[in-house]
C-alpha cells in the first residue's frame, strides 16, 4: 500500500517556499519569487489542499475571500499527472471561471512541476512538490510585476519563458 502523496503537504509546500525565497544567480541574485517571503512572514498566504472530489475551486476561493489571507496557494489533488502543455490551458480556464463568478479582482497563476521552463538550465517549477494554484489580487500582482520590470529579474530569461509569462522586455 503506497503512502498518500498529500501527507504533510503544508510542510512540503513550505520547503518549496524556502527554495523560492533563496536568491539565485538565474534571477540576478533575487529570489525566484521575491514577494512570497513577506507574505509568509506576515501570515498572509493561505496554503490549503484542493481536492475536486470534496469541493469546488470556487468554494476554495470563497474560503480565501472570507479569511484573513491576501492570497492562496492551493495544492491540486489529482490522480493524473498534469502535463506542461496543459498548465496554461488550466490556468486560463480558472481565470475565466473566476471572472464569470464575480471574482474578477482575482487572478490565477499555476505552477506545475512538469513545466518545461528554465533559466540557464535551472527550472524552479520542477522543485514544486505538487501542481500549485496561486490565487491573488490582480492589482497586487500587477504592481509586483511592474516593480520587477524595474530590476534585472527577467534579464536571464529566454524568449520562450518571457512569452509564457506574457512579459515583454525592452532590448530583448
- Give residue-wise pLDDT tens across range 20-38: 999 999 999 999 999 999 9
Q: How many domains does the chain have?
A: 1
109's enclosing H/E stretch is strand 106-111
What contacts 136, CB < 8 A, 6 or more positions away? 70, 71, 72, 106, 107, 109
pLDDT band at 168 (very low <50, low <70, confident <90, very high): confident
Q: Is 170 inside any structural domain?
A: no
Q: Is 116 inside any structural domain?
A: yes
Q: Within 13 A of 158's CA, how many CA atoms are on the CB side? A: 9
Kindly report the backbone phi and psi dihedral angles of residue 39, in degrees, each rounded to the nearest multiple of 5, phi listed first: -60, -45
Q: Which pTM value belongs to this model? A: 0.93
- Give residue-wise pLDDT tens across range 100-128: 999 999 999 999 999 999 999 999 999 99
Q: Is 169 inside any structural domain?
A: no
Q: Is 1 inside any structural domain?
A: no
> For residue 66, what are the domain limits?
9-164
pLDDT exceeds cutoff 70 at 172: no
Q: Is 148 inside any structural domain?
A: yes
Q: Is 42 inside any structural domain?
A: yes
> What is d(CA 28, CA 154) in angstroms, rounded to the nearest whole number?
8
Name the percent of the chain lying above pLDDT 90: 87
Of 11, 12, 1, 2, nearest in space to 129 by CA? 12
pLDDT exceeds cutoff 70 at 171: no
Q: Is 64 inside any structural domain?
A: yes
Mean pLDDT of 6-15: 92
pLDDT exceeds cutoff 80 at 6: no
Amino acid at each position: 500500500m503506497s503512502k498518500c502523496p498529500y501527507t504533510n503537504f503544508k510542510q512540503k509546500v513550505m520547503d518549496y517556499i524556502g527554495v523560492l525565497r533563496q536568491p539565485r544567480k538565474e534571477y540576478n541574485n533575487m529570489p525566484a519569487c521575491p514577494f512570497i517571503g513577506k507574505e509568509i512572514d506576515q501570515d498572509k498566504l493561505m496554503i490549503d489542499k484542493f481536492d475536486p472530489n470534496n469541493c469546488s475551486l470556487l468554494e476554495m476561493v470563497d474560503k480565501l475571500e472570507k479569511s484573513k489571507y491576501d492570497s492562496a496557494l492551493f495544492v491540486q489533488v489529482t490522480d493524473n499527472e498534469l502535463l506542461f502543455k496543459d498548465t496554461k490551458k488550466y490556468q486560463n480556464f480558472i481565470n475565466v471561471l473566476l471572472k464569470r463568478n464575480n471574482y474578477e479582482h482575482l487572478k490565477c497563476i499555476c505552477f506545475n512541476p512538469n513545466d518545461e521552463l528554465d533559466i540557464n538550465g535551472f527550472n524552479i517549477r520542477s522543485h514544486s512538490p505538487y501542481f500549485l494554484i496561486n490565487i491573488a489580487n490582480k492589482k497586487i500582482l500587477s504592481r509586483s510585476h511592474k516593480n520587477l520590470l524595474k530590476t534585472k529579474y527577467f534579464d536571464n530569461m529566454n524568449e520562450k519563458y518571457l512569452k509564457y509569462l506574457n512579459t515583454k522586455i525592452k532590448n530583448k
